[in-house]
Structure 1
Amino acid sequence: MIETLLLALGLVLIVEGLVYALAPSLLERMLLALTTLSEDQRRMMGLIALALGVAMVWAAKTLGA
């Protein structure tokens, strides 16, 4: 269980690091675009991302990861 958690956190850090390393200006533009959205829209985006993440973890575990 701890191995899976460490793997997941490591993968998140890799993806986050790639965004900062390869496209910092794009990240700034995305953050500015987020400020134009309402709090409810940002919350809905977060819930959708959460649901997709849970579905992906479930699928990975079901497939034997």
Structure 2
Amino acid sequence: MSDFIAALGLVLVVEGLVYGGMPRLAKRLAEQVIEMPESTLRGAGIGAMIAGVLIVWLVRG
């Protein structure tokens, strides 16, 4: 359970870097996401999930 909480903390750090460090970029990305087709967003989300699982699997073995 502590690994899960640590992972959530890292997600917050990464998101904080984007919003706190590059707010203009975050706004532009949000505008572009609204215009993207749902299938593209779904594919990107599934790809990110697969990449995340692979990374955890490689690190944790």
Q: TM-score, normalised by structure 2?
A: 0.92
Cross-structure match for 2:4: 5
Partners of 1:37 and 1:12 lie apart in 2 by: 23
Q: Stretches of 4+ moved more than 2 A in 1?
A: none
Partners of 2:12 and 2:58 lie apart in 1 by: 21
Task: Number of aligned residue pairs: give it.
Answer: 61
Displacement of 1:60 in angstroms is 1.2
Cross-structure match for 1:29: 28
Q: TM-score, normalised by structure 1?
A: 0.87
Which residue identity lines up with residue 14 of structure 1 in the other structure? V
- Cα RMSD of the aligned pairs, angstroms, is 0.8
Structure with the bigger percentage of helix? 2
Structure 1 unaligned blocks of 5 or more: none
Displacement of 1:51 in angstroms is 0.5
Q: Percent identity?
A: 38
Displacement of 1:36 in angstroms is 1.9
Displacement of 1:50 in angstroms is 0.6
Which residue identity lines up with residue 59 of structure 1 in the other structure? L
Is 2:38 the counterpart of 1:58? no
